[in-house]
């Protein structure tokens, strides 16, 4: 867990002071609304459909109980008593007042948090695998590098006015849980032939209206070269990215139009210059960052597995929770718990202040004081002793936080959609709620198996629908909501963009349409281990199209 | 009258009064030899490559980079590249920059910013001076040892 040093404290406080001044200068007319807009965005403040929205960064998704409690406090003092965890490891408050935001930012600084660069055309919150530092399959914890990038990107003088936003994601595991291939820069921690640690760098991934899978620009980058190399990518993008059309301004379009090979040459050339003009971060700084991400001192008393299995076997609901929401920890006495923020019929990603405090309390009591936010809008307890699982489950259940659906149908990503967002063309949250109610039987969901449904309320794709096994995109067709279905998307190391199944469905038709896809899958699959994505990749779209559009296919 | 913003505050532009000329890059032409570098400022567009300018570094004592909009950050990278490639003359930003960007411009290598009268009235001197870069609050300086500021 990274703790601020004096420099970090001073930086964040100074930033709040600056923003306070900017709000005052907007009010006295020094700044026009146009000029103020990017400044407030760089400090996380959006103007939404009904009110301002403040987006707070949770860098690489890591936070402690004190921070989680402060997020709860903020939601009660300045908002409506809840917060919304997002796909980029942020939390959003939907109802703050402009005049209160500097005070909110100060309250965040009190617990070593900020909202810097959570919006605007700059380098956004750096995200990472939510199981980082805990997962059994991890090569190396990506968070020290993510923290280094966080620091590097903060108020970077050259890159605050890029052609468009810029998102970086990292993973230290071969199993990509951070959607790195759908980011402007995706970084994977790898080893070269000599066993030296370094990075594989991808650029040009992204979703939105032109979804693209990132391309490898550097197969192996030595660790020490990271900052000058990233600096080179950003400089090439800042100078060459399109500024004539905001929908063509992301680096993915530059990669697409220029070609990865040419772009690689440009980047390498600038990289050589950057290396000459910048020093490598001092080793003691890197070591100081790394030291803060050491695993906690684990309680290594052997877990009585016999006793534990008996307790689990005796309670079918607990068993279901353990089977679904627990992941393998690198330490055999420990486990990773995913707390689902997707109760049946609820709003994906929302947590009340009370729930935040309960999760913080669990982290304090059982979880070495650590929590994570996942891009799938859930909360993680990354280190808990396995024999504490029954007690943790009990507390979660009493708080309405024990839904055993992680990785299943109702563990959906949904963007805020027309309920909050000024850009939305359709509702997303109600579709997620109705789908989850239609499939509320968790046994049925478990039988259906791993399934990722992702819902966006407009073409900007904040709900990641392109990489959903089943993606739903809500559009506006002549004033009426119309939902397009894509099939076969995947956001992991085997990333792919979903293919459009056919004409859209009305709001009333969309849940039955998804049900037909599920029925179709259940009929085709060869046993329970034959997942939806496996089946889709094997048989293709045709059977699903027939299920979706029985009349068209019958007459065709 | 345009206003020149420097670390010392607002100043009048004396360049042309003292015989200096602003010449568009495309009009710079062949008669280089006739020009006095100390009286020559070149206006470059913000989509030019620094590589193509290298030959001109010794022929001008000022390069002026436009900011058509404060949201167009190309000028920052261009200034940085010019400095990295060895240009040591004066770098001036001209156009729509706001006081909040003064520090960014300075750290990227600009010596000064030319703003119009309306902007100078709306965002008076103290708002710009408040943004003189604080190198002791720069992560980039801390991590990578950014090129030190030039004296303005």
Residues A158, B77: C-beta atoms closer than 8 Å: yes
A27 touching B (Cβ < 8 Å): no
Confidence (pLDDT) at B55: 86
Model confidence at B59: pLDDT above 90: no
Residues A279, B81: C-beta atoms closer than 8 Å: no
Residues A29, B104: C-beta atoms closer than 8 Å: no
Inter-residue contact A147 to A154 (CB < 8 Å): no
- Facing residue for A25 by CB, picked from B47, B76, B127: B127
> Tens of pLDDT along A32-89?
999 999 999 999 999 888 889 999 999 999 999 999 999 999 999 999 999 999 999 9
> Tens of pLDDT along A119-154?
999 999 999 999 999 999 999 999 999 999 999 999
Confidence (pLDDT) at A205: 97
Question: Which site among B144, B145, B148, B149 would you substitute to test the A interface, given the most A Cβ atoms closer than 10 Å to its Cβ?
Answer: B144
The sign of the torsion formed by the CA atoms of B79, B82, B86, B92 equals: negative
Residue carrying the six token digits 């690198």? A330
Question: What CATH fold (topology level) applies to the domain A6-110?
Answer: Sulfite Reductase Hemoprotein; domain 2 (3.90.480)
**Strand order across the beta sheet in which B112-115 lies:** B9-12, B3-6, B112-115, B90-95, B62-67, B40-43, B21-24
The span from the CA of B82 to the CA of B93, in Å, is 13
Inter-residue contact A324 to A446 (CB < 8 Å): yes
Residue A331 CB partners (closer than 8 Å, separation 6+): A295, A298, A300, A383
Two tokens, residue A94: 């939907």
Q: Which residues in chain A touch residue B47, judged by CB atoms under 8 angstroms apart? A: 239
B125 within domain boundaries: yes
Confidence (pLDDT) at B32: 59
Residue A31 CA to its chain's centroid (Å): 33
> Tens of pLDDT along A183-222?
999 999 999 999 999 999 999 999 999 999 999 999 999 9
Two tokens, residue A44: 């996380």
B151 within domain boundaries: no
A305-398 with A414-555: one CATH topology?
Answer: no
Residue A341 CB partners (closer than 8 Å, separation 6+): A85, A348, A349, A350, A351, A377, A378, A379, A401
Two tokens, residue A340: 């689902």
Q: Which residues in chain A touch residue B97, judged by CB atoms under 8 angstroms apart? A: none
- Considering only CA atoms, which of A86, A174, A146, A173 is closest in space to residue A375? A86
Residues A155, B81: C-beta atoms closer than 8 Å: no
Model confidence at B26: pLDDT above 70: yes
Share of chain A above pLDDT 70, in %: 99
Q: Which residues in chain A touch residue B99, judged by CB atoms under 8 angstroms apart? A: 30
Query: pLDDT category, B34, cuts 50, 70, 90?
Result: confident
Residue carrying the six token digits 């770098």? B91
- Considering only CA atoms, which of A458, A377, A471, A468 is closest in space to residue A420? A458
- Facing residue for B78 by CB, picked from A156, A239, A280: A239
The span from the CA of A50 to the CA of A95, in Å, is 8
In order, the DSSP letters of A68-112 are HHHHHHHHHHHSSSEEEE-TTSEEEES---GGGHHHHHHHHHHTT
Residues A238, B76: C-beta atoms closer than 8 Å: yes
Model confidence at B150: pLDDT above 60: no
Task: Determine whether domain A305-398 maps to CATH 3.90.480.20.
Answer: yes
Query: Which residue from A minimizes the CA distance to B137?
Result: A11
The CA–CA distances, whole Å, from A339 to A9, A47, A371, A375, B140 equal 31, 30, 10, 13, 37
CATH of the domain at B92: 3.20.20.70
- Nearest-neighbour CA in chain B from A59: distance (Å): 16
B89 within domain boundaries: yes
Inter-residue contact A73 to A353 (CB < 8 Å): yes
> Tens of pLDDT along A495-551?
999 999 999 999 999 999 999 999 999 999 999 999 999 999 999 999 999 999 998
Question: Which site among A12, A15, A158 would you substitute to test the B interface, given the most B Cβ atoms closer than 10 Å to its Cβ?
Answer: A158
Structural domain span for residue B91: 3-144
Query: Which residue from A minimizes the CA distance to B106?
Result: A157
The span from the CA of A281 to the CA of A5, in Å, is 16
B150 within domain boundaries: no
The CA–CA distances, whole Å, from A382 to A91, A295, A339, A544, B73 equal 19, 10, 10, 37, 40
Q: What are phi and psi of A237, to 5 degrees?
A: -70, -45
Query: Which residue from B minimizes the CA distance to A281?
Result: B143
The sign of the torsion formed by the CA atoms of A90, A96, A97, A100 equals: negative
- Facing residue for A243 by CB, picked from B72, B134, B143: B72
ipTM over 0.85 threshold: yes
Q: Which residues in chain A touch residue B121, judged by CB atoms under 8 angstroms apart? A: none
Residues B74, A239: C-beta atoms closer than 8 Å: yes
DSSP secondary structure letter of residue A541: S
Residues A161, B143: C-beta atoms closer than 8 Å: no
Inter-residue contact A395 to A354 (CB < 8 Å): no
Model confidence at A348: pLDDT above 60: yes
Inter-residue contact A46 to A419 (CB < 8 Å): no
Q: Domain extents for chain A?
A: 6-110, 135-290, 305-398, 414-555
Residues B108, A22: C-beta atoms closer than 8 Å: no
Residues A30, B133: C-beta atoms closer than 8 Å: no
Confidence (pLDDT) at A552: 72
User: Of chain A residues 388-417, which have a CB less than 8 A from chain B?
Assistant: none
In order, the DSSP letters of A252-307 are HHHHHHH-HHHHHHHHHHHHHHHHHHSPPPPHHHHHHHHHTTSPP----PPP-HHH
B63 within domain boundaries: yes
Beta-sheet pairing, A52-57 with A45-47: antiparallel
Cα A492-A494-A496 angle, rounded to 5 deg: 90
Global pTM value: 0.96
Residues B84, A277: C-beta atoms closer than 8 Å: yes
What interhelical angle do A389-398 and A316-325 show, nearest 10?
Answer: 100
- Facing residue for A161 by CB, picked from B73, B84, B145: B73
Beta-sheet pairing, A62-64 with A370-373: antiparallel
Count of other CB atoms within 10 angstroms of residue A62: 24
Model confidence at B152: pLDDT above 60: no
> Tens of pLDDT along A437-489?
999 999 999 999 999 999 999 999 999 999 999 999 999 999 999 999 999 99
Residue carrying the six token digits 């948090």? A113
Residue B111 CB partners (closer than 8 Å, separation 6+): B6, B90, B91, B92, B150, B152
B149 within domain boundaries: no
The span from the CA of A470 to the CA of A485, in Å, is 7
Residue A32 CA to its chain's centroid (Å): 33
The span from the CA of A296 to the CA of A1, in Å, is 9
Total structural domains in chain B? 1
- Facing residue for B100 by CB, picked from A39, A156, A281: A39
Two tokens, residue B108: 């990227």
* Class of domain A414-555 as given by CATH: alpha beta
Q: What residues does A351 pair with on adjacent strands?
A: A83
The span from the CA of A399 to the CA of A348, in Å, is 16
- Facing residue for B77 by CB, picked from A7, A121, A238: A238
Confidence (pLDDT) at B151: 38
Inter-residue contact A341 to A85 (CB < 8 Å): yes
The span from the CA of A235 to the CA of B72, in Å, is 13
Question: Which site among B85, B109, B136, B143 would you substitute to test the A interface, given the most A Cβ atoms closer than 10 Å to its Cβ?
Answer: B143
Inter-residue contact B97 to A160 (CB < 8 Å): no
Residues B145, A152: C-beta atoms closer than 8 Å: no
Model confidence at B149: pLDDT above 60: no
What interhelical angle do A33-41 and A6-27 show, nearest 10?
Answer: 160
Residues of chain B whose beta carbon is less than 8 angstroms from a beta carbon of chain A are: 47, 70-74, 76-78, 80-81, 84-85, 98-101, 103-105, 107-108, 122-124, 127, 130, 133-134, 137-140, 142-147
- Nearest-neighbour CA in chain B from A29: distance (Å): 7
B134 within domain boundaries: yes
The span from the CA of A454 to the CA of A459, in Å, is 13
- How many Cβ pairs within 8 Å bridge chains A and B? 104
Q: Which residues in chain A touch residue B71, judged by CB atoms under 8 angstroms apart? A: 38, 121, 161
A148 touching B (Cβ < 8 Å): yes
Q: What is the mean pLDDT of chain A?
A: 96
B26 within domain boundaries: yes
- Considering only CA atoms, which of A9, A7, A134 is closest in space to residue A61? A134
Residues B140, A273: C-beta atoms closer than 8 Å: no
Homologous superfamily in CATH for domain A135-290: Sulfite Reductase Hemoprotein, domain 1 (3.30.413.10)
């Amino acid at each position: 867990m990274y703790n601020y040093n004096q420099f970090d404290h001073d930086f964040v406080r100074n930033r709040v002071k600056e923003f306070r001044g900017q709000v005052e200068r907007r009010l006295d007319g020094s700044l026009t609304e146009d000029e103020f807009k990017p400044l407030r965005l760089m400090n996380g403040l959006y103007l939404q459909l009904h009110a301002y929205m403040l987006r707070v960064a949770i860098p690489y998704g890591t936070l402690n109980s004190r921070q989680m409690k402060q997020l709860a406090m903020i939601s009660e003092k300045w908002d409506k008593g809840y917060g919304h965890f997002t796909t980029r490891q942020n939390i959003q408050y939907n109802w703050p007042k402009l005049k209160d935001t500097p005070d909110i930012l100060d309250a965040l600084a009190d617990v070593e948090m900020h909202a810097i660069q959570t919006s605007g055309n700059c380098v956004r919150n750096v995200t990472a695998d939510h199981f980082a530092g805990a997962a059994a399959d991890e090569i190396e914890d990506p968070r020290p590098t993510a923290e280094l990038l966080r620091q590097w990107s903060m108020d970077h003088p050259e890159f605050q006015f890029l052609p468009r936003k810029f998102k970086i994601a990292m993973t230290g595991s071969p199993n990509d849980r951070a959607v790195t291939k759908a980011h402007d820069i995706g970084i994977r921690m790898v080893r070269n032939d000599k066993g030296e640690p370094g990075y594989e760098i991808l650029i040009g991934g992204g979703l939105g209206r032109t979804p693209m899978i990132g391309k490898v620009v550097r197969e192996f980058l030595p660790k020490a070269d990271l900052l000058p190399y990233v600096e080179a990518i950003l400089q090439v993008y800042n100078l060459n990215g399109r500024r004539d059309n905001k929908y063509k301004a992301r680096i993915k379009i530059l990669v697409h139009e220029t070609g990865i090979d040419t772009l690689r040459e440009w980047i390498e050339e600038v990289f050589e210059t950057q290396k000459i003009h910048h020093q490598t971060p001092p080793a003691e700084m890197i070591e100081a960052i790394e030291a803060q991400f050491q695993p906690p001192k684990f309680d290594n008393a052997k877990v009585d597995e016999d006793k534990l299995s008996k307790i689990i076997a005796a309670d079918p609901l607990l068993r279901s929770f353990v089977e679904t929401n627990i992941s393998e920890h690198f330490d055999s006495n420990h486990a990773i718990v995913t707390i689902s923020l997707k109760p049946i019929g609820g709003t994906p990603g929302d947590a009340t202040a009370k729930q935040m405090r309960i999760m913080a309390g669990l982290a304090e009591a059982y979880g070495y004081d650590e929590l994570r936010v996942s891009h799938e809008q859930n909360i993680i307890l990354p280190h808990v002793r396995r024999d504490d699982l029954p007690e943790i489950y009990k507390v979660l259940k009493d708080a309405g936080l024990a839904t055993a659906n992680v990785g299943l149908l109702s563990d959906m990503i949904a963007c805020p959609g027309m309920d909050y967002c000024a850009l939305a063309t359709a509702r997303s949250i109600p579709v997620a709620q109705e789908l989850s109610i239609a499939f509320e039987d968790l046994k049925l969901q478990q039988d259906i198996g791993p399934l990722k449904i992702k819902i966006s309320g407009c073409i900007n794709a904040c709900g990641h629908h392109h990489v959903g096994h089943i993606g739903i995109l809500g559009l506006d067709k002549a004033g009426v909501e119309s939902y397009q279905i894509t099939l076969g998307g995947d956001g992991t190391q085997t990333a792919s963009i979903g293919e459009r199944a056919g004409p859209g469905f009305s709001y009333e038709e969309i849940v039955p349409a998804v049900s037909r896809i599920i029925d179709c899958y259940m009929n085709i699959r060869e046993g329970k281990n034959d997942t939806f994505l496996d089946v889709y990749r094997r048989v293709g779209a045709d059977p699903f199209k027939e299920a979706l559009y029985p009349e068209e296919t019958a007459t065709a | 009258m345009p206003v020149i913003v420097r670390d010392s505050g607002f100043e009048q532009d004396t360049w042309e009064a003292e015989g200096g000329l602003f010449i568009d890059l495309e009009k710079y032409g062949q008669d280089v030899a006739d020009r006095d570098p100390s009286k020559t400022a070149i206006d470059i567009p913000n989509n030019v490559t620094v590589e193509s300018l290298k030959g001109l570094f010794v022929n001008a004592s000022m390069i002026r980079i436009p900011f058509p909009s404060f949201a167009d950050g190309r000028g920052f990278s261009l200034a940085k590249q010019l400095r990295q490639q060895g240009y040591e003359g004066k770098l001036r930003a001209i156009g729509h920059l706001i006081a909040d960007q003064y520090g960014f411009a300075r750290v990227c290598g600009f010596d000064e910013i030319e703003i119009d009268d309306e902007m100078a009235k709306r965002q008076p001197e103290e708002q710009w001076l408040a943004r003189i870069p604080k190198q002791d609050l720069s992560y980039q300086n801390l991590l990578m040892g950014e090129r030190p500021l030039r004296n303005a």
